[in-house]
Amino acid sequence: EAGVAQSPRYKIIEKRQSVAFWCNPISGHATLYWYQQILGQGPKLLIQFQNNGVVDDSQLPKDRFSAERLKGVDSTLKIQPAKLEDSAVYLCASSLVVASTYEQYFGPGTRLTVT
C-alpha cells in the first residue's frame, strides 16, 4: 500500500514570497490533515478535511495560509506572503475516517526555510 506522498521535500524562499505544498493521501482515506511542526516542538494541526469539506481550521492563520482539497483527494496548502516564523516542517496525514479508533498515517513532510 502506497503511503502519503508530499512534495516538494524541501523549499527555501524569501520572506514575503508565496509557496505551495502538495499532498496525496492514501487511496480511499476520507480524512486529510495538515500539520505544522516547528523545530523542537510536536506537530500542530492547521486544518482537517473530511472528503472536500473543512472539519477544523481553528489554528490556521487565515490571513496568510489557505488550503483546499478539490474532489476530496489531493490537497494543497499555500502560504502567501511567508514570514520568517513560518519556517517549519509541514506534514500531511490521512486516515480512513474521522474516528478515534482509526490511526493517522503521516507523510515525510516538506521542510520550509524562510530567509
Partner 1 sequence: DAKTTQPNSMESNEEEPVHLPCNHSTISGTDYIHWYRQLPSQGPEYVIHGLTSNVNNRMASLAIAEDRKSSTLILHRATLRDAAVYYCILSGGSNYKLTFGKGTLLTVNP
Q: Residue 53 class from Cβ within 10 Å (0-12 exposed, 13-18 middle, 19+ buried)?
A: exposed
Residue 108: is the preceding peptide bond cis (ω within 30°)? no
Cα separation, 60 vs 64, whole angstroms: 9
Q: Count CA within 13 A, CB hemisphere, residue 22.
A: 5
Question: Distance of alpha carbon 63 from its chain centroid, rounded?
Answer: 16
Q: What is the closest distance, in whole angstroms, from the C-beta atom of residue 67 to partner 1 in the complex?
A: 16
The piece of 21-29, 65-73, 76-84, 97-105 that touches partner 1 (CB under 8 A) is 97-105
Which x/- pattern, by CB under 8 A, does the window 23-42 give for partner 1? -----------------xxx
> Which of 1, 39, 70, 100 is in the footprint of partner 1 by CB under 8 A?
100
- Residues numbered 74 to 93 that lie near partner 1 (CB under 8 A) are 91, 93
Positions touching partner 1 (CB under 8 A) are: 4, 40-45, 48, 55-56, 91, 93, 98-101, 103-109
